[in-house]
């Protein structure tokens, strides 16, 4: 009997380049630099060779978009971590992919020596994604994050799978362009009007000094809200980005956006129940939430007993470097209540906790 042959076909993408903010130094995360990614994917596309049908192979368009999102998304300290996460995330997109070799180039690495490039290569196969006997709605923890960084492997969820019941999530909103108070009110109303999301608590508005980004930009108005949702983590991310877009947010350097620069609207997912997600496009809990006073302070106003990774949010807020620059917005910063859609219909966190609805 003839043995099945090992996949010997390859899809190769070379030189996908974008600006990212990966690195261990603060200036790397603040100023950004160019990263280039090469991908070599192993599969068997003999069926596509015979049929000439896209359905019989893996579309490299989606792979290229995923790589670009990984470069421009939430920053990693190490390019080794970026390469590993890209390789695993690509393999999860299609069962026909048997292996992925990802090379991440960092040609502007902070070295004093003369050099042309720094690069790392991650080689992963489907064996790296095999299940370890977890419930079917969980993915293999190793396929999402470095196991040494996990608090509880049971908390890792498939970001594409919707929950069987409502999950409570915490979102942080910010704006410093246009009528920011009206924008935040409109954004909260838009989220509340979604069929799969209901707002269950919201903080007072906070006036905060910008953290990072270009000098001279206006102060931000920030707010933290709690929602109950039946959306998957990726579904919630898609909704928040659509609300941003509806409020004239243009994402990415290609649209003139500056890292940590002025925003008409920014919505970050801080927590999703007690779950963890770690992919190139989404990390939950938000990796920098525990250091951000402009998130922690209004969150503690909304819910004094809230916790983040086992720590009281109020205690984290007290130690945040920018906490002193966060204050409640006064009447001059906030429009008349009638101008904030549905704000009066949102209960406070204490009332929500009394009903036992807190996740």
- Over residues 104-147, the pLDDT tens digits come to 999 999 999 999 999 999 999 988 875 333 333 333 333 333 43
Do both 254 and 341 map to the same domain? yes
Q: Above 50 in pLDDT, residue 307?
A: yes
- Number of domain units in the chain: 2
Phi, psi angle pair for 153, to nearest 5°: -65, -25
Domain boundary among 76, 110, 130: 130
pLDDT tens digits along 318-351: 988 888 889 998 755 554 433 333 333 434 444 4
Residues 89 and 184 in one domain: no
More confident residue, 331 or 188: 188
> The tokens 């999301």 sit on which residue?
197
Whether residue 96 is predicted with pLDDT greater than 60 in this model: the reply is yes
CATH of the domain at 116: 3.30.1130.10
Q: Which of 135, 140, 52, 137 is nearest to 89 (CA)?
A: 140
| pLDDT value, residue 43 | 92
Query: Which range of residues forms the domain containing residue 207?
Result: 167-354
Mean pLDDT of 281-286: 87
Q: How far is CA 345 from the centre of its chain?
A: 29
Q: What is the pLDDT of residue 261?
A: 55
Residues 109 and 193 in one domain: no
295/245 same-domain check: yes
Residues with a catalytic annotation lie at 106
Residue 231 located in a structural domain: yes
Half-sphere exposure of residue 167: CA atoms within 13 angstroms, side-chain side: 22
pLDDT value of residue 216: 65
39 in any annotated domain: yes
- Mean pLDDT of the chain, nearest integer: 80
For residues 251 and 241, the answer to whether their CB atoms sit within 8 Å is yes
The reply to whether 120 and 234 lie within a common domain is no
State whether 98 and 173 are in the same domain.
no
CATH number of the structural domain spanning residue 257: 3.30.70.560
Q: Do 42 and 92 have their domain in common?
A: yes
Band (213; pLDDT cuts 50, 70, 90): low
Give domain status of residue 144, yes or no: no
Domain assignment present for residue 160? The answer is: no
Q: Are residues 121 and 180 in the same domain?
A: no
Whether 328 is in a domain gets the answer yes
- Helix/strand/coil for 338: helix
pLDDT, tens digit, for every residue of 85-94?
Answer: 999 889 988 8
């Amino acid at each position: 009997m003839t043995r099945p042959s090992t996949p010997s076909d390859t899809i190769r993408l070379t030189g996908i380049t974008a600006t990212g903010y990966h690195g261990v130094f603060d200036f790397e995360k603040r100023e950004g630099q160019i990263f280039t990614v090469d991908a070599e994917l192993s599969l068997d596309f003999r069926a596509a060779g015979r049929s000439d049908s896209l359905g019989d192979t893996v579309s490299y368009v989606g792979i290229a978009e995923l790589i670009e999102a990984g470069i421009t998304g939430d920053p990693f300290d190490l390019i080794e971590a970026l390469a590993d996460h890209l390789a695993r995330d690509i393999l999860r997109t299609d069962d026909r992919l048997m292996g992925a070799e990802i090379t991440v180039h960092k040609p502007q690495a902070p070295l004093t020596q003369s050099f042309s490039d720094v690069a790392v290569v991650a080689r992963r196969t489907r064996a790296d994604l095999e299940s370890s006997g977890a419930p079917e709605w969980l993915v293999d923890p190793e396929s999402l994050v470095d196991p040494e960084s996990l608090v509880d492997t049971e908390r890792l969820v498939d970001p594409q799978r919707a929950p069987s019941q409502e999950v409570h999530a915490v979102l942080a909103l910010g704006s410093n362009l246009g009528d920011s108070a009206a924008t935040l009110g409109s954004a909260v109303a838009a989220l509340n009007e979604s069929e799969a999301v209901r707002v269950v608590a919201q903080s007072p508005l906070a006036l905060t000094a910008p953290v990072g980004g270009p000098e001279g930009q206006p102060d931000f108005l920030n707010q933290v809200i709690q929602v109950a949702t039946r959306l998957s983590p990726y579904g919630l991310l898609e909704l928040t980005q659509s609300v941003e877009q509806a409020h004239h947010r243009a994402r990415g350097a290609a649209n003139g956006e500056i890292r940590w620069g002025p925003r008409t609207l920014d919505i970050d997912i801080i927590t999703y129940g007690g779950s963890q997600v770690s992919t190139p496009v989404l990390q939950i809990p938000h990796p920098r939430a525990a250091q951000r006073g402009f998130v922690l302070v209004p969150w503690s106003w909304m819910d004094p007993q809230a916790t983040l990774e086992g720590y009281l949010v109020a205690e984290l807020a007290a130690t945040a470097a920018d906490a002193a620059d966060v204050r409640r917005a006064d009447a001059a910063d906030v429009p008349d209540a009638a101008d904030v859609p549905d704000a009066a219909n949102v209960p406070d966190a204490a009332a929500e906790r009394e009903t036992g609805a807190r996740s």
